Amino acid sequence: MKKLVVFDLDGTLAESKSSIDDEMGTLLSALLQVARVAIISGGAWPQFDKQVLAKLPVNDLLQRLSILPTCGTQFYEYTSGWSKRYAEDFTAEEKKKIIDSLNSVVDTLGYKAPQLWGEPIEDRGSQITFSALGQEAPLEEKKKWDPDFAKRQQMKTLLEKLIPEFSISLGGTTSVDITKPGIDKAYGIRKLRDILSITIPEMIFIGDAIFPGGNDYPAKEAGVECIKVRDPDETKRVIEAIVACLGSIT
């Protein structure tokens, strides 16, 4: 029986950089009544706060929710409020090398966007994220930029030569996420296992980028049973099925 349901955020629970809708909030609340829930994403803590937590009722059920920003390099838990359990940040030297390498690759491939909505490179402490059109780009513009991940696969190939000591993964609609070596969603899964004392076979992971090179794929490689979804609407149907199943067991 599954005890922990783990989700990606953008493209899975919500559209990129958007808040979950009312139906998703209701479904997550129902899921928290029958299982523990965790959310792992490349986004920083403010993104989770705005996109998810602001849409959930504040009650004791939040003690069953774990938040892992920046692909699991940070861990937040709820007691009387939200607190950070750990964070594994880059040094200043590491940040400079990553940012310089990103800029070099963008110039080499000619991927500098003619129009930006916000900064294209964001320092999230334990993760550096490149967003091709800027952090606040409209979703429709972002969907056009790299729908088949081909541009970002090219970036990943070049970055792996420039900064092989770091982990590089693709997520969202225009993003490239860079973390410390071995730090990805598999790392977050293992942290959940150790902190919550829930075995990997007792988990299920739901995400939209479960393919080689996708930032959800490490969860599959960690041995978690995975469900690949197309979008938040499909995620809703999956949650309904899980609630019905676990609810009938409990």
**pLDDT of 250 higher than 60:** no
Domain 92-179 fold: 3.30.1240
Sheet holding 65-68, edge to edge: 82-87, 74-78, 65-68, 36-40, 4-7, 203-207, 225-228
Amino acid 213: pLDDT: 78
The answer to whether 156 touches 135, Cβ cutoff 8 Å, is no
10 Å CB burial of residue 112 (0-12, 13-18, 19+) is: exposed
Catalytic residue among 8, 146, 184, 216: 8
Question: Residue 102 — very low, low, confident or very high, per pLDDT cuts 50/70/90?
Answer: very high
Q: Which residues belong to CATH 3.40.50.1000 in the chain?
A: 4-88+183-249
Catalytic residue among 10, 146, 184, 216: 10
Beta bridge partners of 117: none
The answer to whether 216 touches 210, Cβ cutoff 8 Å, is yes
* CATH code, 4-88+183-249: 3.40.50.1000
**pLDDT of 41 higher than 60:** yes
8 marked among binding-site residues: yes
10 part of the active site: yes
- For tokens 């479904």, what's the residue? 27
Amino acid at 92: A
The structure's pTM equals 0.79
**pLDDT of 192 higher than 90:** yes
Q: Which residues belong to CATH 3.30.1240.20 in the chain?
A: 92-179
8 part of the active site: yes
89 marked among binding-site residues: no
216 marked among binding-site residues: no
184 marked among binding-site residues: no
Question: Residue 247 — very low, low, confident or very high, per pLDDT cuts 50/70/90?
Answer: confident
